[in-house]
Structure 1
Amino acid sequence: MPRGSSPKRERQYEHIKDSLLDRGESEKEAEEIAARTVNKERARHGESRTASRSSVQDISSGRRGGLRSHRGAGGPTYDQLYNEARQRGVKGRSKMNKRELAHALGK
């Protein structure tokens, strides 16, 4: 958790992490998912300095509830794939469709 986060966000992080551990996720995976979820909520509520477009405009983490998990039927969204491609420096990403982005990222 980032320094200066509220006690509410700390509790939320621990709750999500514990739930994931109960479901059989590894410690590392549980921590990452919990941190991403809490950081997204912080961004949606204006509690963070910076926020990505997909964090603010996408449906809330609670509502999504696995609809777009990486193992779900639809997989990650185009915006999620594009952001990951941008972070990894994939060339030609702006001309790729969702399937091409997923292939370029090895998903």
Structure 2
Amino acid sequence: MPPRGVKKGSKRARQYEHIKDSLEERGRSEDLAEEIAARTVNKERARHGEARESSRLSREDISSGRRGGLRSHRGPGGRTRDQLYEEARSMGVKGRSRMNKAELERAVSRKRS
């Protein structure tokens, strides 16, 4: 069942079904596949001005497809350097502005322990 506001037979409804089926083929549960598909479709609707309301992040962040491609094959928690930097900033890691991604990953994991 596509998210509210998505008409049956529309491009977004087909997109929802495609994403959901793909996730189920990869072993995700039906409930999780439905949630991920709905979130993805809602974000695309927001990015293209099809939704009544949308958050700033939904409009300005990179697209769902691009984000998935960037983080694929990186194992769990494939975060971008910017995401790691923001996490390091919130933890108060010193010298973070001069760190590369690998250094930020190590610093964040050390700070968590």
TM-score, scaled relative to structure 1: 0.64
1:26-66 Cα deviation digits (max 9, x unpaired): 11110110000000000000010111111110011111125
Runs (5+) with no aligned partner, structure 2: 92-113
Q: Percent identical across equivalent pairs?
A: 66
Cα distance between partner residues in 1 of 2:71 and 2:52: 25
Cα distance between partner residues in 2 of 1:50 and 1:68: 27
Cα distance between partner residues in 2 of 1:20 and 1:57: 25
Aligned pairs for 1:66-105 within 5 A: 66-67=69-70, 71-74=76-79, 98=87
Aligned pairs for 1:15-54 within 5 A: 15-54=18-57
Runs (5+) with no aligned partner, structure 1: 79-96, 102-107
CA RMSD of aligned residues (A): 2.8
- Point out the structure with max Rg over C-alpha: 2
36-45 vs 65-74, which moves further:
65-74
What amino acid is the match of 2:68?
A: G
Do the aligned partners of residues 14 and 3 (structure 1) sit closer, same or farther apart at CA in structure 2, a change above 3 Å counting? same
Aligned pairs for 1:7-18 within 5 A: 7-18=10-21
What amino acid is the match of 1:72?
A: G
| Consecutive aligned runs of 4 or more in structure 1 exceeding 6 Å deviation | none
65-74 vs 11-20, which moves further:
65-74
* Contact 2:3-2:38 within 8 A present in 1 as well: no
TM-score, scaled relative to structure 2: 0.61
